[in-house]
Amino acid sequence: MDFGLTDDQQAIVDGVKATIGRFGDDYWLERDREGGFPHEFYHSVADGGWLGIAMPEEYGGAGLGVTEAALMMAAIAGSGGAMAAASSVHMNIFGPHAIVKHGSEDQKARWLPGLIDGTYKMCFAVTEPDAGLDTTRIKTRAERDGDDYIVHGQKIWTSTAQVAEKVMLLARTGPRNDESPADGLSLFFTDLDRGNASVHQIEKMGRKAVDSNEIFFDGMRVAAADRIGEEGQGFRYLIQSLNPERILVAAEAVAIGRDAIRRAADYAKERSVFERPIGQNQAIQHPLATSWSQLDAAWLTAMRAAWLYDKGDPCGVEANTAKYLAAEAGFDACKAAIAVHGGMGYA
């Protein structure tokens, strides 16, 4: 395994940073205070051609792997926008994976170009209040009605539903079978019809720029032509995209942690107490060094998972490990960085 970036991969990192360079701390602070989707940022990424980094070339994408996508998302998350920046574009990167793998040629031609060029923002309607991570127990149902399905039910924690034109929807089309609980769930990609889908924003303590929502479906009509693959196999299609998603989240978490450590180290060099920079004190140095080491280990784990995925090898254990290690390391790094800032960390 080569631990360095190729010239092409380094060019991706440099190109992404150049694309988003004008969106600095002031931009993201305003978005965090006022809310509102970062449309300018989203369109800048789309106009740069980055949304299609892992999508097929014949539909306008770059046809690259999850390694390159992870490098791109790390550059975005580490730019100062943190999870707000990453979340505004994350869904377009591997969210359409089920379409690529299991969609018909007509579906790919109808949907992928718009997702790649930024015409469509998509949301992911899977989680439900009473099911949580036990996805096979979701209750939202899609009942066949001629050439359509009629959808009834409720979803929660659906990001970007306030602004999304399209929804990736998992719904029950058949009864749950305890012997094979993954059966009976179908996956749809369709217009989010707000006449029959009521979207309610959930107020949060952070990431105000990217909305989280409950969606109540009350008879929303979905064309059968918008069902991805076979009826009843949607859950299996969905889980195939989870490993790359976990790798991307891991890369984002590491990048956020590294940005926090960088900011804390810069502050520690400038802030003087008792006539010396606080960064000269081991009580400041050691927590930051510990966080740096944990982030580096998590990054290597994420890159190994990406390497396995791009080779076509099993990577479930590695992808889950990377996400866990990176989330823990990123969170701890941010806590350490806030502590370095003392009272100003709270401000």
Q: What is the pLDDT of residues 224-236, one digit of tens each?
A: 999 999 999 999 9
* Mean pLDDT to the nearest integer, 92-103: 92
Cα radius of gyration rounded to whole Å, the chain: 21
CA–CA separation, 13 and 22 (whole Å): 15
* Mean pLDDT to the nearest integer, 76-100: 94
The mean predicted confidence, pLDDT, of the chain is 95
Please write down the HEC assignment for all residues of 232-284: CEHHHHHHCCHHHHHHHHHHHHHHHHHHHHHHHHHHHHHCEECCEEHHHCHHH
Q: State yes or no: pLDDT of 39 exceeds 70.
A: yes
Would you say 144 and 135 are in contact if contact means Cβ atoms under 8 Å apart? no
Would you say 77 and 207 are in contact if contact means Cβ atoms under 8 Å apart? no
Would you say 68 and 12 are in contact if contact means Cβ atoms under 8 Å apart? yes
* Mean pLDDT to the nearest integer, 200-214: 95
Strands (DSSP E) contained in 134-184 are 141-145, 148-159, 166-172
For the chain, the distance separating the N- and C-terminal CA atoms, rounded to the nearest angstrom, is 44
Identify residue 286 by its one-letter amino acid code: H
* Mean pLDDT to the nearest integer, 326-335: 98
Helices (H), 21-134: 25-34, 39-47, 66-76, 82-94, 97-102, 105-116
Q: What is the pLDDT of residue 20?
A: 97
DSSP-assigned letters across all residues of 4-27: SPPHHHHHHHHHHHHHHTT--HHH
* Mean pLDDT to the nearest integer, 68-88: 96
Would you say 260 and 121 are in contact if contact means Cβ atoms under 8 Å apart? no
Q: State yes or no: pLDDT of 248 exceeds 90.
A: yes
CA–CA separation, 154 and 194 (whole Å): 14
Q: Dihedral angle at the C-alpha atoms of 252, 255, 256, 261, nearest 10 degrees?
A: 160
Q: Which two tokens stand for residue 277?
A: 């920079």
- pLDDT exceeding 90 applies to what percent of the chain? 92
Q: Which two tokens stand for residue 287?
A: 């927590």
Q: State yes or no: pLDDT of 2 exceeds 80.
A: no
CA–CA separation, 268 and 260 (whole Å): 12
Q: What is the pLDDT of residue 1?
A: 63
Would you say 214 and 154 are in contact if contact means Cβ atoms under 8 Å apart? yes
* Mean pLDDT to the nearest integer, 257-273: 96
Would you say 111 and 103 are in contact if contact means Cβ atoms under 8 Å apart? yes
CA–CA separation, 98 and 141 (whole Å): 20
Q: State yes or no: pLDDT of 241 exceeds 90.
A: no
Q: State yes or no: pLDDT of 63 exceeds 90.
A: yes
Q: State yes or no: pLDDT of 145 exceeds 70.
A: yes
Q: State yes or no: pLDDT of 180 exceeds 70.
A: yes
CA–CA separation, 289 and 117 (whole Å): 41
Q: What is the pLDDT of residues 287-328, one digit of tens each?
A: 999 999 999 999 999 999 999 999 999 999 999 999 999 999
Q: What is the pLDDT of residue 243?
A: 92
Q: State yes or no: pLDDT of 249 exceeds 90.
A: yes
Q: What is the pLDDT of residue 12?
A: 97
CA–CA separation, 335 and 329 (whole Å): 10
Neighbours of 170 (CB within 10 A): 23
